[in-house]
Amino acid sequence: MLTRTSKNTNRRHVHERIRKKILGTASRPRLNVYRSLNHIYVQVIDDLHSNTLVSAHSAEGKKGEKRIGGNVAAAKDVGKAIAERAKAKGITKVVFDRGGYIYHGRVKALADAAREAGLQF
């Protein structure tokens, strides 16, 4: 009998396959995306030193302010924020790691906004 696997399990297998090919270095770190139901999270990672250089997420904001992060507009804001923070640290070129998610919707909006803000990948 065949067992049914969850979407997240399938995504993790795809992500493992992607990670075999992608490596973030100090000169060209990896831009990693994690997409939950309510928010979207992004990190710029140097894999050689196992170090997170910059991060941003849609749950950021002032205390007491409710942030809605499960939409394309929030993903665009996060893309702009990560690009600005990376440029402030002197990072202009990255390798995009979509995290096993389909390059569509929030992931695509985040990538396009990061490109428009000055990141190259």
Domain membership of residue 90 (yes or no) is: yes
Domain membership of residue 42 (yes or no) is: yes
Domain membership of residue 121 (yes or no) is: no
For residue 109, what is the domain's CATH number?
3.30.420.100
What whole-number distance in Å separates Cα of residue 93 and Cα of residue 31?
A: 10
**Model pLDDT, residue 66:** 67
Count of the separate structural domains present in the chain: 1
pLDDT above 70: percentage of residues in the chain:
96
Domain membership of residue 1 (yes or no) is: no
pLDDT in tens, 30-84: 999 999 999 999 999 999 999 999 999 998 876 656 677 789 999 999 999 999 9
112 near 79, Cβ under 8 Å?
yes
Q: What is the mean pLDDT of the chain?
A: 92
Domain membership of residue 112 (yes or no) is: yes
Domain membership of residue 11 (yes or no) is: yes
Domain membership of residue 2 (yes or no) is: no
**Model pLDDT, residue 47:** 93
> Is pLDDT larger for residue 5 or for residue 112?
112
The pTM of the full predicted model, rounded to 2 decimals, is 0.88
42: which strand partners?
Answer: 33, 56
**What residue numbers bound the domain in which 32 lies?**
7-116
Domain membership of residue 81 (yes or no) is: yes
